[in-house]
Structure formats: C-alpha cells, structure tokens
Amino acid sequence: MKKTTLIIILVSVSVFLYFVILFPLTLRSLRPKIGVVKIQGGIYSSEKYVNWIKKLKENSQVKGILLVVNSPGGGVVASDEIYNALMDFKKTGRPLVAYFGSIAASGGYYVGCAADVIVSNPNTITGSIGVIAEFPVVKNLLKKIGVDFIVIKSRDKKDLGSPWREMTREEKKIIKSLIDETYKNFLKIVSESRNIPMDSLYKIADGRIFSGRQALKYGLVDTLGTIDTAIEILKQKAKIKGKPVLVEPRKRFSLLSLITGEETKISDIKLDYRMVLP
C-alpha cells in the first residue's frame, strides 16, 4: 500500500513538473523564431557577430533576422565582415529587417544596408557616409620635453603614419587612395541597397549626419517607427502568425562594461582605418 502511494505521488509530481516547466518550454520551442543581432557600440571586431549570424543561418527554425543597430561605426574590415555575413544569411531567402536606435552612423549604417527594410526612430542619428583615417603627430610636444627618436627602417615608407614625424605629400596620397577606394565601395553598397542613383547619393554622402526624419526624406531608411514596428514588418515578410520567440545570444557578465557602460557619443562617429594600419 505504501509503495503504491509513493508511486502515485511520484507520478503526480512528474506530471505537475512537466506541465509547469517542460510543457511551456515545449510550446516555446514550437513557436517560430526570429534571430536578433544587436550591433552595440564601436565596431572594431566582427567575430562574435559573424559567429552568431552563422548560427542563425544554420538554424532552420529561425525565420528571419532582426538587426538592431546602436553604433557610431568603427573599423572598415569589421563593418564589412558583418555586412557580408548578413548578406550570406539572406541567400537562404529569409528576410532581414533593421531597426536603427539612438545612433546608426558610418559603419553602423554600412552594416544596416544589408537589410531588406530599415526602420528608424525619428530621432536617430544616422548617415555619416564616408571614411576617415587619423594620425596624431606629437613631434613638437616631444621636442619641448627633449625627447627624440632614431628610426631605422628597410624602406622609406615603412614608418608611414608614424606620430614622430609629419607625413610627406606622397604618403598622404597613399593614404588618400585607400580612403577613396573604400569610400567608393561604401557608396556602391548604399546605392545598390537603397536604390539611390550614384549622382544623387554623392550629393549627401559627404560625411554629414541625419536625423531619422531627414534620412527618410533622402531614401536612406524605409520608414519611421519603433522596434515593434520592425518586428511587425519582419513577421509579415516571414509570414509569421502569432507572437514569435526572439532568439538572442547568451550574455556574458562583464564587470568592465558594468563600470564603463556602453554609451555612444556623437564624437565616436566614423568608419576608419586605424584598426588595419600598423
């Protein structure tokens, strides 16, 4: 009798746990999923983003990607690698919708161009279509404190960009050629993705920033709204009925990010070469 009672209790507890814990999880696993890719802060490394996008691509339950951009831009290579990973995802035929938050400028806008539809907050800071390279020169400061450098190099261009001396005219031309090449590619991506004629785009692609409202006027975004607007558009494109599950990568706790925060400043806006030059 006691044994029978114990079995009944164990079965009852198992059934209870199933319906309280496992059954909701089972239902959740059956619901359609939307992969969320959040581009947050400066873009100087692409690895975590590219790896996550690849996982979403390989998961057939993921019906589309919601790209959330809160970035002032960053490195040329990192921005391009994320953009290419998103374009690779789109080859599966699944939709990609972007939402521009507080700021989606320069490299942030570059990445956003992979989207089928761009939804922007009316007050978003976006645009800044251009490329920049910065090289500080501290030779006068060092001279004041009596510090000098002896440089031994294999050829005359090896220390191009050195902060210990001024650039020559020829060296500036070399850097400018790199900037121009990347800028042309940036313009090509924007022109093709946004269906803006190159001559019209060139008039506004001088590095200036736009509000979301202004960006809509120039065709740089498709519509104004909130992140919920972007989700609804993505649901329609992916033919999702009901409430989808938003899938995000697991967050790792970082004491450094907790202390420093990830606030983005207007002064951070750029697509630069600093990360690829020695």
Active site residues: 106, 158
Which amino acid is residue 56, in one-letter code? L
| H-assigned helices in the chain | 2-17, 23-30, 47-58, 76-90, 107-112, 139-144, 169-194, 198-204, 212-218, 227-238, 255-260
Contact 183, 130 (CB under 8 A): yes
The number of angstroms, rounded, from the C-alpha of 41 to the middle of its chain's C-alpha atoms is: 8
Which helix (H) or strand (E) segment holds residue 211: the answer is: strand 209-211
> How far is CA 277 from each of CA 1, 76, 173, 175, 274, rounded to the nearest angstrom?
80, 11, 15, 10, 6
Q: What is the DSSP letter of 41?
A: S
Contact 272, 75 (CB under 8 A): yes
Strands 209-211 and 125-127: antiparallel
